[in-house]
Structure 1
Amino acid sequence: MKTNRRSFITKSIIGASLLTNANLFSAQAESLDNLNKSKRISISKDDVILFQGDSITDNGRDRKNKNANDNWALGSGYANLAAAVLLEKYADKNLKIYNRGISGNRIPDLQNRWQEDTIDIQPTILSILIGVNDFWRTKDSGATNTPEQFKKQYQTLLQQTLSKLPNVKLIIGEPFGVKNVQHVTEDWFPDFAGYQQACVDISKEFNASLIPYQSIFDNAEQKASGSYWTTDGVHTSLAGASLMAKGWLDVIK
């Protein structure tokens, strides 16, 4: 009888503990779900969507073509693929979608052309993917720019943006590198992670949606090697561009 009583008490304690943990996990899941929902972006009628960044965004676009919703103006990368889905899905919204990415750009390059290539376009949704060159040039060209400096430059850029476009919705793309594919060697890490963390911190500070491209590509390598998704560890193949576009569209409600 004592054994049964002890067993009953033990089972009751374990059961209560499991129930408490289950409630805790449920609360955490709900909290995370609410967090994710709060950072997703709704598409509204007459939205102006601008993709900004470096060569990954540029992807061979015709820079002389300034038109919205134009194949040649959008390039052949993730920006084009994401734009195609948006324009088809929201055909009744009168969207205008632009690409102003320029190959080789770093944060200082964005700052130098920001008025003409961003503010003057008056985007209501602004997507920025930058950072890989800010790090890469420290490896191949002797540039000096720490993650802390990069973060301050990024903060300044967004502060200037919000001062002129206070209602713009921000999307921050995490810079990524696929290891052991041509340019992206093991010695990129852990240093490169500092620039990635800066983007994570900035997304929180400015209440921006964050696209975790590094983990997206890491997970994709479970299906195929890095060379399937990128040509050199940074620039995408067609499959990689589609992967990026899907990651981008995931932040849209």
Structure 2
Amino acid sequence: MTRIKENSLVLFQGDSITDWGRNREESESLGHGYALLVAAEFGRRYPEKKVRFLNRGIGGNRVVDLQERWQRDCLDLKPDWVSIYIGINDTWRRYDNNEPTGTEAFYEGYRKLIQRTLEGTDAGILLVEPFVLPYPEDRKAWREDLDPKIQAVRELAREFHTPYVALDGLFAAACSKAEPEYWAADGVHPTAAGHAIIAKAWLEAMEA
């Protein structure tokens, strides 16, 4: 049985993996990735619940970007559930733009997002951890930066007792069945099969 009640509003927040081609001119657009897959499968399973889904992911976002837009893109929407999936760009910008985000700053910024959500809404919160796969080769070096951030998200899930989607391990396990680029062509952005992994894990977390 899902945690999501009848007539709930579920909000997806994050970066490009959540955004995934949504039409910014249409407030109800879910894009073409895991957010759409979650909404479609949830609607199939629980048509009587009449749950509404919104996507406010924006490509390239880091925790600091979510902080800047959290009032208008989260709190003002009065969601019943907020799904937060952020972190890979906090690592990526260190390597492509020399703009690192320290683990402590990442943790504290993320924690403030959760606190603001709990103080400003009655919403439940689900956390999704970031992942990276070892393709291309340079992605292997990212583990040094990303692994502590993954641990930070896990600590927040424990502290706030939220449902949790442990994507990094799931994608690592999937790579025993097919090469990394099958699941994420650049090690970061999921293929259709990769989005299916996320959607399945998301729905399972809501039923745990």
Q: Which bin holds the TM-score, normalised by the shorter protein? A: over 0.9
Does 1:96 pair with 2:57?
no
Aligned residue identity for 1:56: I
The alignment of Structure 1 onto Structure 2 pairs a total of residues equal to: 207
Residue pairs, 1:191-206, within 5 angstroms:
191-206=145-160
Contact kept? 2:127, 2:157, Cα under 8 Å: yes
Query: Aligned-residue CA RMSD in angstroms?
Result: 1.3
- CA–CA distance in 2 between the matches of 1:162 and 1:43? 17
Q: Which has the larger radius of gyration?
A: 1
- Pick from 197, 201, 204: which aligns with 1:243? 197
- CA–CA distance in 2 between the matches of 1:41 and 1:149? 33
- CA–CA distance in 2 between the matches of 1:149 and 1:116? 23
Give the structure 1 partner of residue 126 of structure 2: 171
Aligned residue identity for 1:53: G
Does 1:52 pair with 2:36?
no
Q: SS of the counterpart of 1:52?
A: strand
- Alpha-carbon distance, 1:183 to partner: 7.2
Give the structure 1 partner of residue 171 of structure 2: 217
Aligned residue identity for 2:86: I
Aligned residues with identical type, % of pairs: 39
- CA–CA distance in 1 between the matches of 2:2 and 2:102? 31
Aligned residue identity for 2:143: F
- Alpha-carbon distance, 1:190 to partner: 2.6
- Alpha-carbon distance, 1:155 to partner: 0.7
What stretches of structure 2 of length at least 5 have no aligned partner?
none
Aligned residue identity for 2:52: K
- CA–CA distance in 1 between the matches of 2:106 and 2:204? 26
- CA–CA distance in 2 between the matches of 1:80 and 1:118? 18
- CA–CA distance in 2 between the matches of 1:184 and 1:196? 19
In the superposition, relative to structure 1, how do residues 183 and 158 fare at CA in structure 2: closer, same or farther (>3 Å)?
farther
Give the structure 1 partner of residue 38 of structure 2: 82
What stretches of structure 1 of length at least 5 have no aligned partner?
1-39, 68-72
Render the CA deviation track for 1:169-207: whole Å, top value 9, x for unaligned.
11100000011x137522112321011001000111111
- Which stretch has the larger CA shift, 209-218 or 183-192? 183-192
TM-score under structure 1 length normalisation: 0.79
